[in-house]
Every structure is written in C-alpha cells, then in structure tokens.
Amino acid sequence: MIILWLLLGALGVLLILLLIALLRTLRAPKLRSTYVPAPDEQEALALADKLAKMVRVDTVSVPETDQREKFLTFHRCLEELFPLVHERLEKTEIDGNLLFYWRGQSSERPLVLMSHQDVVPAEGEWLHGPFSGDIADGKVWGRGTSDTKCSVMAFFEAAERLLAKGYVPPQDVYLSSSCTEEWAGDGCPKLVNELRRRGVRPWLVVDEGGGIITEPIGGIHGNFAMLGVFEKGKADVLLTARSNGGHASAPARRSPLARLADFVHEMEHRDPFRRRMPPEVAAMFETLAPYASFPLRYVLGNLWLFRPVLLKALPLISAQAGAMLRTTIAFTMAKGSDAFNVMPHEASVGANLRFIPHQGMEESLAILKKKAKKYQLDLEVRHASDFTPATDIHSDAFRLVMDTVGQVFPGCPASPYVMTGATDARFYQEICDHVVRFAPVVYGPEQMKGMHGLNENIGYACLPGAVEFYTKLIANMGE
C-alpha cells in the first residue's frame, strides 16, 4: 500500500510538472523566421559571375603534395577580380596560402576574415560540370561554390568596395585563406605562425562552419543563422584482427571478420560514450524553441524537465543533433581476404571518431581500446586531435557577430551551435579567444547535400547579403 501511494504521489508530481511546462509553452509567443534573400538582381548576377570565374579554376587539393603552382593560378584569378585588394593591401603568400593585411585606425582589436581556397575532388555525373561555373536556375554550379569560395569571394568583394571609397577600417583587418583545409594540412598553421611572428593576436576570427541554414532541425522552418562556437575533436583509427587463416571450407570460430563484426555491432547498438548537453547546445535549443511546431516547442522550451528525454531521443531522431551530445564513431573502411574461399590472416576496419568536450580524446580512445581488447583487436591511431575551446557566447565578440547578423539579415534568428566537422578555424584558436564559424550564405537542403557530393551549388540571391555582412562587420569593429 505504501509503495502504491508513493507511485501515485510521483505520478501526481509528474503531471503537475507537465502541466507547468504546458502553461509555460502556451504563454510563450510563437515566433517565425521571415528572412528570405531579396537582392537587386543585377548585383546578384555580377557577384555570381565573379564566383563562377573562381570556381572555373580547379583547386582540388591533394594531401602531402606540392601544389603551389596550381594555387598561384587561382591567385591570378583573384587579382583580376579584386585589383584594389591586391594593389593596396599587404599581401603574403606562403606555399599557396594567402594572407592580406589591411591597416586600420587601430591595431588593438584585429579582425580576421577567413575561408579556404581548396576543394575536394569532384567525381560522378554532374548536371553541370564540376568546374563549369555555370549560372543557371538561380544558382552558381560547381565544386567550391558553397564550400567555400562563396565566402572567399564575399569578403574580398567587401574589401574591394570599401577600398574604392577610400575607407579605412576602425581596426586592422586580415584576409586569410589556406589551400590545405580539406585534408587538414599545414597551410593555415603557416599563416597562424606568420601572425604569431608579427606579434598579432586577433580579437575576432570569422571562418566557415556555420551558415544561414534552412530548417536546422526538422519541424523548425525558415532560415536561421547558426554560429559555430567550437569544434569536436577527431581521430582516424584502424582496428585489426589477426588469425592463422585457412580454407573457407573449414572455418574456425571467432575468425578476424567475425570478431570485427561483433565489435562493430556492439559499438553501434551499445553506445559506450556518455551523453551530455553542452551549454552551447542548450542555448541553441532555447533559441530555436519559439520557432518550432508545438510538440517540439513544448519539449525544447522546457529543458529543465525534458533534458533527460532529449539525451536519449535526439540521436534516434536526428544524427546531426545527436552528434552534438556525445563522442561519435563511424565505421568507414573495411578489408578482409582477397578471395572468397580463403579465410583472412588479417582483417581490418577503419573508423572516424569525433570527440565531445565532456569526454575528450584521451578518455574516448581509452574506452575504444578497452572494447577492442575484448575482441582481440589491435588498435592503431592514425591521427588524433582534441576538441577546441568554446567561444564564450556571452562575450562582446560573439555579441558583435550576432548584432551584425541582425542588422544585415532582418527576420533571421541567430543561434550558437556545435561544429561536428572540422575547419581551419581551430588553428587560429592558438592565438585568438573568439573564433566564430559562420559563412553568411544560405544553405538549404540542396546545398547541404552538394557539399563534398554531386552537383554542388549556391543560390546567387544570397551573395549580396554575404558581401554586406562582411562590410558591416568590418565597420562594427569600431563600436
């Protein structure tokens, strides 16, 4: 009887809490994202033409290869498109990587605008050639249009227009662009080391990573400026199982492939990594909640009650959202025997890990090694780097970016979020406390799918807004 009364009491408390959450949701205003690019068509087409010319220069980067001459060709394209930038700013070129210095009225709070020149290979059948730079159906087509020659074009264009007016920025400005970002090469570190050699410590760095995302979470419609505030760490690992091999007609138990399969199955179905909601992710959900459909608004707007449920449910609902809560592992490569009737002496799987701050590189790899040992697997870490420090979302620098978004993109809500991928921005965190990952262009589902995939493109209607964002950000550094 006592247990029954306790259960009834607990149920009563739960119902009261659910009712409180419901009343809070009903009383909170329902908001709507209203921003849609509506540029001058002539200006948008002129910028599309500049981006198209940049796309037509093949800048596919190949790991551990000297490709300086290839990128010098791209630099000549930039010089033709942005002559004042090259005439009036101090240019430094290091092995194909670019750094431009624009002296401002003050050197107290330097600003770095950055994005990379290089692109990933373009394979498969495209609607428009990957280096055609075709302008069709309201879009610029080709490899690099959205990742990320669009932002390179935009901040060069912003500087070009301001220089044409004789403008002197309130703070020093640096335009930074590496040519090794796509394979995590040493291009950006060389630029960072150059700034370190000069004694420059940027106050704010703005790189790619976030963007104006259409429907960032299912059920939240419209365009939202998602500002990346830190990156998860990452590692590439190889797991190898060995045996004496043999003929497939008499297979031994616990063969290399079988052990690897058991290991992969356990990692997929019994996730060993702890789930926790970083404060930046909580802030993102709280920002987005008023724009969601009612059921989602009810949950996201009451994290004080539903956080435990979200921690369990989000990875099942959204892979992207789930990746912001925990270390992830993705199995990407596999190798076994070279013949159908031969048991492998050795089999392996490759995996990519992404580390979350509450369970970083050291702890996550230790968990993986323990699991691998259970299945008699050897683990080799090919590459590993830990997560980056988070930019303070309450800092003046972050607020400056948020305010600039509000000024340039009216009706577009801005929110912090966690980068699950990797960018060059992490290298700048060695010399800068405020690094924000945001490319001021619109990424809809088609653009997100095209990044590193087929038919990459960008809607050219968003290009004037991107130029205006960088222009306004430079000016706002004086406030």
pLDDT in tens, 188-229: 999 999 999 999 999 999 999 899 999 988 788 999 999 999
The Cα 229–Cα 280 span in angstroms is: 8
CATH of the domain at 351: 3.30.70.360
Distances (CA, A) of 194 to 21, 98, 138, 201: 53, 11, 40, 11
Percent of the chain with pLDDT over 70: 97
Closest of 109, 102, 107 to residue 82, by C-alpha: 102
DSSP string across 287-311: HHGGGB-HHHHHHHTTHHHHHHHHH
181 and 212 together in one domain: yes
Q: What is the pLDDT of residue 291?
A: 94
Residue-wise pLDDT tens digits, 254-270 = 889 999 999 999 999 99
Residue-wise pLDDT tens digits, 390-417 = 999 999 999 999 999 999 999 999 999 9
315 and 337 together in one domain: no
Indicate whether 14 belongs to any domain. Answer: no
End-to-end CA distance of the chain, in Å? 68
Contacts of 473 (CB under 8 A, 6+ apart): 111, 113, 206, 400, 401, 404
Indicate whether 2 belongs to any domain. Answer: no
Return mean pLDDT, the chain: 92
68 and 206 together in one domain: yes
The Cα 230–Cα 421 span in angstroms is: 10
Which pairs with CB-CB distance under 8 Å and at least 24 residues apart come from 301-310? 301/21, 301/24, 301/25, 301/28, 302/21, 302/24, 302/25, 303/277, 305/17, 305/18, 305/21, 306/21, 307/277, 307/282, 310/277, 310/285
The Cα 229–Cα 437 span in angstroms is: 7
287 and 147 together in one domain: no
Residue 432 Ramachandran class (φ > 0 left, ψ -120 to 50 alpha, else beta): beta
237 and 226 together in one domain: no
112 and 149 together in one domain: yes
Residue 251 pLDDT class (50, 70, 90 cuts): confident
397 and 434 together in one domain: yes
Q: What is the pLDDT of residue 335?
A: 93
209 and 220 together in one domain: yes
Amino acid at 133: G
199 and 264 together in one domain: no
Q: What is the pLDDT of residue 187?
A: 94
Percent of the chain with pLDDT over 90: 74
CA atoms in the 13 A half-sphere facing the CB of 100: 23
Indicate whether 182 belongs to any domain. Answer: yes
Q: Looking at residues 121-128, what average pLDDT do you find?
A: 92
* Residues forming a β-bridge with 328: 354
212 and 296 together in one domain: no
Q: What is the pLDDT of residue 4?
A: 63
DSSP 8-state assignment for residue 462: G
Indicate whether 377 belongs to any domain. Answer: yes
* Helix (H/G/I), strand (E/B), else coil: 414: strand
Closest of 475, 443, 448 to residue 462, by C-alpha: 443
Q: Looking at residues 457-467, what average pLDDT do you find?
A: 97
Closest of 172, 169, 170, 188 to residue 180, by C-alpha: 188
Contacts of 413 (CB under 8 A, 6+ apart): 31, 33, 224, 225, 287, 288, 291
Q: What is the pLDDT of residue 247?
A: 67
CA atoms in the 13 A half-sphere facing the CB of 347: 22
Indicate whether 34 belongs to any domain. Answer: no
CATH of the domain at 450: 3.40.630.10
Instruction: Among 385, 407, 431, give the residue marking a domain's end.
Output: 385
312 and 395 together in one domain: no
The Cα 242–Cα 458 span in angstroms is: 47
- State how many domains the chain has: 3
Residue 15 pLDDT class (50, 70, 90 cuts): confident
Distance of CA 349 to the CA centre of its chain: 26
Residue-wise pLDDT tens digits, 293-324 = 888 899 899 998 999 988 988 887 778 888 99
φ, ψ for residue 312, nearest 5 deg: -85, -35
Indicate whether 3 belongs to any domain. Answer: no
Does the pLDDT of residue 5 top 70, yes or no? no
Q: What is the pLDDT of residue 355?
A: 95
CA atoms in the 13 A half-sphere facing the CB of 436: 30
Tokens for 425, please give them.
Answer: 């921005």
103 and 45 together in one domain: yes
Contacts of 7 (CB under 8 A, 6+ apart): none
The Cα 80–Cα 288 span in angstroms is: 42
Range of the domain at 411: 41-231+389-476
Residue-wise pLDDT tens digits, 125-147 = 999 999 999 999 999 999 999 99
H or E segment at 79?
A: helix 68-81
DSSP string across 151-197: HHHHHHHHHHHHHHTT---SS-EEEEE-S-GGGT-SHHHHHHHHHHH
Indicate whether 342 belongs to any domain. Answer: yes
Least trusted range by pLDDT, from 35-39, 214-218, 442-446: 214-218
Indicate whether 35 belongs to any domain. Answer: no
Residue 6 pLDDT class (50, 70, 90 cuts): low
Residue-wise pLDDT tens digits, 358-380 = 999 999 999 999 999 999 999 99
